[in-house]
Amino acid sequence: MAYKDLREFLSLLESENQLIRIKEPVMPEPDLSAIGRSATSLESAPAVIVENVKGYKTPVVLNVHGSWQNHALMLNLPKDTPVKEQFFELEKTWDRYPIKPVWVDRKDAPVKEVIIEDDIDLFEVLPLYRINEFDAGFYLSKALIVSKDPNKPDSYEEQNAGTYRVQVKGKDKLGIQPLPFHDMAVHLRHAEENNEPLPIAICLGNDPVLNLMASTPIEYAQSEYDFAGALKGEPIELTKSELGGLDIPARSEIVLEGYVLPREREIEGPFGEFPGSYSGSRQQPVVKITKITHRQNPIFENLYLGMPWTEVDYLVALNTSLPIYKQLKRDFPEVQAVNAMYTHGIGVIVSTKSRFGGYGKAVAMRLLSTPHGMPYSKIVIVVDEFVDPFNLEQVMWALTTRVRPDKDVFKIPFAPGMPLDPSSEPAGMHTKLVIDATTPVAPDFARDTELLATPVKTDEWTELLREIAKQQRS
C-alpha cells in the first residue's frame, strides 16, 4: 500500500488533488459542520483539513472517506475506478483474510509519543464541536473503539474494533451507544454481570482501512485488524494500550483510554444520525477517561452525518454490501452482486440467477436472516443477474417491467428493525418489504394432482396382520 496511516493517506490524497487545505482561522460552529457538508457537494468530493480552528490547537480533517475517488485510493486503485469495480476489488482482497498484525513495542509506537495521565481534559486535546445544530453536545463520530470480552480476555479474535457514537459529557466523561446487536454490547453485558468496569480504547485519526473495517458488519469472532491487513495486503501495526491490555493501532493520531462504568446510565442524545434525522434521547452507558496518548502535533478526524449523501454514506456503502454478498453467495451461489449502499443497508438490491420458480423470494428471505440484514434491512429488491444492482436506471427498468404487485411483492410484519430508522414503530421493530423483480422461472416439474389409490388386497392384509398380532399377544 502507498500509505501506512492517516497522515500518509492525506499526503496521497493531496498528490491526487483530493485534499483541500484551509489555513485561515475557522470557527468550530457552524463552520466545521458546514465544511463537512459542503465537501461532498464538490466535484470529486475531496477531503478537507482545517489547520486553524479558533479556540483550539489541533487541526481537524473531514471527508476522508467522502467520495468514490477517495474510496478507490484507499483500496490502492486509480481514483476514477467505477463503483462496481471497487466492489469486486474489495471482494478480491477480502478473500486474503486473515493477514495477522504485527505488534510494535510501546516505545516505538507513534501514538505513544505523548502520554497524559494527570488532569485529563478532552477540551485541551480535541477541537470539539456539534456536528448538527440540535445535537445534545459535542460528538466523536469517527472513532475506532476497542473492547474485549471480559470472560475471554485472551481471545484476540473476539476482541472488537467497532464504531459507536460518543458524546462528550465533561472533561473526562463520555456517553456511548452500543446497541444490543453490537459486539461491544456483548462485552459490556458480561462485564456488568460481574459489576466490573469494561476497559475501552477510543482511537481517533486512523489508517482509513481501519475505519472502514470498524464500521463493517463482520462476524463476532472475526478480527477487524486481520481484515484490514487483508485489504492492505500487509499487516497492520498494533501496540498495547496503557490500560486493559487492549490491542490498538500503533499509528493512530489520538487514543482515549478508560472504562465503561458498570451499571451506570445517563441520558445521551439526541444526535443527527445516518438516516438523515435526529435520534431520540436514551439512557446509555457512561465512560470515564483516565489516560490520553497521542502523536506529536496530532490531527483530529471527525465525520459529518446528514441528509444523504455525506461521508458516512460512502464509508458504510461497499463494506455493508460485501459481507451480505459473501453470506448470500455461500448459500445461494447464483447471487451475482449486492448493493446495500442505501442508508447502511436499510435498502438492499440483489442481482441473482434464478435456479427455479420463486428463487428471488428465497434469496430475499435469506438476506433478512443475515447478521446485518436482520436488524437493518427493511426494503429488499431482487433483480435478474443481467441487471446491474449499482445502476439504478436498470433497477427501475426491472421494477417497471418484471413486477406483478399481486404475486411479487410481500410484507413481513413485526420483524426486527433498526431503532435509529425514524420509521420503525415501535423503535427497533419493522414491517419488511420484499419486491421480487426477477424474470419468472417455470417450476422444475409439472404437478400431477391424480390421487393415489389404495393398494389391492389392503383389506385382506389388514385382517391378516390383526390376527397375527392377536396370536402373538396371547
Q: Of the listed 158, 273, 301, 311, which one is catalytic?
A: 273
Whether the Cβ atoms of residue 174 and residue 290 lie closer than 8 Å to each other: no
Given a contact cutoff of 8 angstroms between Cβ atoms, the answer to whether 127 and 164 are in contact is no
| CA atoms of 227 and 70, how far apart (whole Å) | 19
Instruction: Tell me which amino acid residue 422 is.
Output: P
Q: Verify whether residue 273 is a known catalytic residue.
A: yes
Report the alpha-carbon distance of residue 148 to residue 161 in Å, rounded.
9
Q: What is the 3-state secondary structure (H, E, C) of the chain?
A: CCCCCHHHHHHHHHHCCCEEEECCCECHHHHHHHHHHHHCCCCCCCEEEECCECCCCCCEEECCCCCHHHHHHHCCCCCCCCHHHHHHHHHHHHCCCCCCCEECCHHHCHHHCEEECCCCCHHHHCCCCCCCCCCCCCEECCCEEEECCCCCCCCCCCCEEECCCEEECCCCEEEECCCCCCHHHHHHHHHHHCCCCEEEEEEECCCHHHHHHHCCCCCCCCCHHHHHHHHHCCCCEEEECCCCCCEEECCCCEEEEEEEEEEEEEEECCCECCCCCECCCEEEEEEEEEEEEECCCCCEECCCCCCCCCHHHHHCCHHHHHHHHHHHHHHCCCEEEEEEEECCCCEEEEEECCCCCCHHHHHHHHHCCCCCCCCCCCEEEEEECCCCCCCHHHHHHHHHHHCCHHHHEEEEEEEECCCCCCCCCCCCEEEEEEEEECCCCCCCCCCCCCCCCCCCCHHHHHHHHHHHHHHHHC
User: CA-to-CA distance for 9 and 3, rounded, in angstroms?
Assistant: 5
Give Cα 347 to chain centroid, integer Å.
Answer: 14
Closest CA to 206 of 294, 321, 89: 294
Using CA atoms, how far apart are residues 65 and 75, in angstroms rounded to an integer? 11
Cis geometry, peptide bond prior to residue 422 (ω within 30 degrees of 0): no
Give me the active site residues, please.
273
